[in-house]
Structure 1
Amino acid sequence: MFYLERDELSQKGFEPIQNSFYNLSSDQEVSIFNENGNIAFNTKELKQNWSESIEQIKQKGELNFRDNDTYYHGLFYKDNQGDFVVLVKATNPMIQSQKKKLISILAISFFVAMLILIFLTSRLSKLAYKPVRNIIQQVNDLNLNKSPLQLSYKSSKDELEELFQAFNNLLKEIETGYEQQKNFVDFSSHELKTPLASIINQLEISLQRNRSNDDYRETSEQVLQDAQQLKNILENLLTLSNLNKSIQLKENIRIDELIWEIIEKLIPLYSAEKFNIQLAIVPEDFHLLEFKGNETLLYMALFNIIENAAKFSKDEVMIKLSKANHRLQLQVKDHGIGISDKDLKHINQPFYRGKNTASFQGNGLGMSIALKIFQLHQIQHSITTQLKNYTQIQLEFPQ
């Protein structure tokens, strides 16, 4: 009306239109395009090509659309001067105001939420890590000289409980190792001290006065016997300390051939009738007799248990090779002094000897070494015994 109807209205009729136009908001822009698409009038220079939108306005007569936060209203206007397209561009102050308020609310909410989250996280972390702090305090207070070495915790049925269980298993192994080490030192010092004291005593007596050749010979034989005992103890100690290194050397072994070698070695000390060997395996299962391991260590372990059986047995020693659970099973049974329940609990402890073995020669290392070798080869063992009757050791070889 301000631009196209000015020449058709009186000054009085045009004045309200003029006042209304000049009172338009500053954020509103008006552009008029002629029928050729050129700008006939505008309140602000356009920086965009509106040809496509103009065609749509001509086709529809009227069109509303928006670009981000800017709103547009297009009108197709026919006049005696020609066909025109009027395009009004404006922003919505209310929406802008609401948007600013919304951004402010979101920003405040974000910072408040972050403060609440930090506070809750701090509180929850203290609650969540309370069991861990409790365990750390218990670990700091652990004393190897106090038993048992175990951590106390509440059952939570989660990964923390699994971690604490694993830690308790580790502590149990540490406690067992520490106890064995302590006993090992005590027993080894005692066992080494006995032959050394005997050697010193024999030599001191022989030096006190002149003796006959027979006396010197007797003293020398006793000293030699004690020295050999000392040598055996030291060799066993070295073997026990190097077991983990030796197990790395593995080769194919025939268990039955190994047992025959041991029997041939023991026959001069005992008699051939002392050993009753039974091979209860059919030829089709002879492959079970083959085992991959360290031949030297297995020979030592089997030699120790067979020799012990012969040494402590009154009658023959039964050695039986059989098949059980698709595996090779070896049984060594003697009819001798047996083992008490109390001594059986300490049978794998170095230098430990049962009370009923005092009259037999030995140092208490053979069985502990043998059981350690079986463990390293993953050979399962079980011991059944009856005091003053029999002892049976059963071995089950892995496939």
Structure 2
Amino acid sequence: MSCSRGFPSPYYLFARDQLPKLQQCGLPVACVADAIPHCAKDWALLTEEEKMAYNERAQKWKKKKSQKTKKEMPNLDQPAPSCLTTVVHRVTSFPDASAVSWKSDQAVVADIFYFLNIYSHGKLPSHCDQRFLPCEIGCVKYSLQDGIMADFHHFIDPEVPPRGFRYHCQTASDATHKIPISGFHLSRTCYPVVLRELLEFAQPDGGGWPRFFCRADDRFRVTWCLERMASVAGIESHLELLTVEDLVIKLYQKKYQKEPSKTWVCRELDAVLWDFSSNTRCKWHEENGILFCALASCKKIAYCISKSLAGVYGVPLTATHLPLQDCDSSGNRNINRVILDAGRFQKMKAESSRYDRYATSPSQDQEHVPSSCDSPCDVKTSFYGASTTRGRGVTRLLEHTSDLYKSFNN
């Protein structure tokens, strides 16, 4: 079976039924694995009843296989827990980055890394078979020498939420990436196509399995989603997922023979400097002003590593290392002002316009902090209302009290 657990998925059985038809059409399909990528559209056109029929066939196959395995192992009183232990072990026992090593600094600079993230419609309780509902995937191909070399992004066609959890899933989505569970106007990609195109993106020449990296806090979710998609699609997955934090530690250790603290590494990777940079989020998230984006999370990892380690290894920064608008030709940073409270800003602007006749000059109304006073996050602030207009509230009350005091003394 193509399924790593030894049981066929409903989609696998459907692809097997479609195999003769595809061969008659002249497609080069010799086995079910070859037919799987060609069946995605036909599978999406099936009704719920037809999909349920394939699901029942898969359950019967699984039950029959389990009974056969139980007869072959009569000495095991409870064979089921061993199977469950194997599945849980695949999710909770992760490899570390200790095997990642380089012979020279040039090998470090030329090495290629893939930063991956998968977003879900919330997180379901542990007693649910579906812990996550994958809805968006982002990945970037990166090296210290060339920066971001290519990117990969798809909105994923999610599974149906378990009964009673639809509101929970949609609420979690609304609080983060805001991707709707249903009624999304953009096209979504099914599991088999997502995995096939991800592998084509990561190994275009059909070489060895690449190493993927994600944040430590996202690792369980990303691993679970990859295995879920592979199981449903009937594809055996050999993807190796390591943490970005361990990678950064190894890169510093290679150069300085000392490890930085993990707290410092996490703080560097949590930088929000590029949250609103152009060409960082996907088109839909950027047009709608949504901060959370799977592709953006991968690109920001690349930006942070470029900012921290490019100089360490003597690599000049280019537009592929950092967002283009963040660096000008002279190497200085260009900082864009972001109005966080647009309503209050508009109100202040309207009120200040009434008193323009009292102002000495427009240049005195706004004062910018000089570049030498940049904050640690490179955010410049401006002082609005620094004009000769009278104050309000407590300031006006104090002025009135002062006038009364002077008149009383006179």
Same fold (TM over 0.5): no
Looking at CA atoms only, which structure, 1 or 2, has the larger radius of gyration?
Answer: 1
Identify which of structures 1 and 2 has the higher relative contact order when contacts are C-alpha pairs closer than 8 Å and 6+ apart: 2
When the two structures are superposed, what TM-score results if normalisation uses the length of structure 2? 0.18
When the two structures are superposed, what TM-score results if normalisation uses the length of structure 1? 0.19
